[in-house]
């Protein structure tokens, strides 16, 4: 018995310049915010961006974007939901809305594979993947199926976060997934622990995102998110990392 879906994943992603997994082994460190704000920043820079929310049990990218989930349109596959100019989203929430989706590991893998096999990303140049916390099926499947996958790893400067994220970095190294930068999120005054984490693990860059007391009120409003302190810091960092270099497609 052969599962045909893996045979077509690379073809589905072939039009993309970069596929970036926003990952962390720790929950609550701001992966979704970083994913969404990065997508908005890239779109403001003229890039076309798809967001794939792979947090099957806690999908929330649509909430950050103020998008009411609905079933996708079809055109030789399923089409991501348009969000704002240049940004589209595919999420399990498109199918289940705000209902709970309790899945075991093998079913998570099946869902990841299905979305990769049937979603048509159209003109997108970047695919930003909002990962669930941990190092389970989602990152293992992505690293196996997605050519040229890279990861931006998110941590707060808190000791617990740094410790857990270091474990993820070791796994990403074993999976040969390059990590161009760590994102030090919710920095109050010192990103030092994340900078040391980067040095210990050979990660070249650290993006500092300051704590933003107004961020909560920007959730659900893409314009406000993009212009928040966190949004501006990430946009500047993405430009510095070269993500906005080169022409569009």
Partner 1 sequence: MHEWALADAVVEAAAAALEGRDPSCLRGVTVLIGQLQAIDREIFSFALETIVSEKPFSKAVFHLETEIASFRCEACGTDWELGDARGLTAEQREAIHFLPESAHAFIRCPACGSPDYRVQKGRGVRISSLEVDDREGCV
Question: The tokens of 228 are what?
Answer: 């928040």
Question: 82 — alpha (psi -120 to 50), left (phi > 0) or beta?
Answer: beta
Binding-site ranges for partner 1 (CB under 8 A): 1-8, 11-12, 56, 71-72, 74, 76-78, 92, 94-96, 99-104, 107-108, 110-111, 114-115, 117-118, 120
Closer CB to partner 1, 5 or 232, in the complex: 5
What are the beta bridge partners of residue 129? Answer: 21, 52
The least CB distance from residue 119 to partner 1, in Å, is 8
Question: The tokens of 84 are what?
Answer: 């704002």
Question: The tokens of 109 are what?
Answer: 């893998």
The least CB distance from residue 78 to partner 1, in Å, is 5
The least CB distance from residue 72 to partner 1, in Å, is 7
Residue 33 CB contacts under 8 Å (≥ 6 apart), including other chains: 64, 185, 215, 225, 230
CB 149 within 8 A of CB 172: no
Closer CB to partner 1, 99 or 176, in the complex: 99
What b/e sequence results for 155-167 when a residue is b if at least 16 CB atoms lie within 10 Å of its CB, and e otherwise?
A: bbbeeebbebbee
Closer CB to partner 1, 115 or 198, in the complex: 115
The least CB distance from residue 120 to partner 1, in Å, is 7
Closer CB to partner 1, 94 or 165, in the complex: 94
Closer CB to partner 1, 60 or 227, in the complex: 60
Q: What is the DSSP letter of 47?
A: -
The least CB distance from residue 118 to partner 1, in Å, is 4
Q: What is the rounded distance in angstroms from the CA atom of residue 213 to the CA atom of residue 54?
A: 27
Question: The tokens of 104 are what?
Answer: 């075991």
Q: What is the DSSP letter of 127?
A: E
Closer CB to partner 1, 71 or 211, in the complex: 71
The least CB distance from residue 177 to partner 1, in Å, is 24
């Amino acid at each position: 018995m052969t599962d045909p879906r893996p045979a077509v994943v690379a073809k589905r992603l072939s039009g993309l310049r970069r596929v970036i997994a926003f990952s962390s082994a720790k929950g609550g460190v701001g992966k979704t915010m970083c994913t969404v704000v990065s997508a908005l920043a890239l779109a403001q820079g003229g890039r076309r961006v798809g967001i794939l929310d792979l947090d099957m049990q806690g999908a929330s990218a649509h909430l950050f974007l103020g998008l009411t989930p609905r079933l996708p349109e079809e055109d030789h596959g399923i089409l991501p939901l348009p969000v704002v100019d240049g940004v589209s989203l595919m999420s399990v929430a498109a199918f289940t809305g705000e209902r709970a989706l309790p899945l075991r590991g093998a079913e998570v893998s099946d869902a990841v594979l299905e979305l990769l096999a049937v979603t048509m990303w159209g003109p997108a140049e970047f695919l930003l993947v909002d990962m669930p916390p941990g190092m389970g099926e989602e990152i293992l499947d992505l690293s196996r199926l997605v050519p040229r996958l890279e990861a931006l790893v998110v941590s707060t400067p808190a000791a617990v976060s740094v410790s857990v994220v270091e474990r993820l970095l070791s796994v990403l190294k074993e999976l040969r997934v390059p990590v161009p930068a760590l994102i030090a999120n919710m920095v109050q005054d010192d990103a030092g622990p994340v900078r040391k984490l980067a040095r210990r693990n050979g990660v070249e860059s650290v993006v500092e995102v300051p704590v933003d007391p107004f961020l909560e009120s920007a959730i659900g409003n893409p314009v406000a998110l993009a212009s928040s302190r966190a949004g501006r810091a990430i946009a500047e960092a993405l430009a510095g990392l070269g993500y906005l270099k080169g022409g569009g497609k």
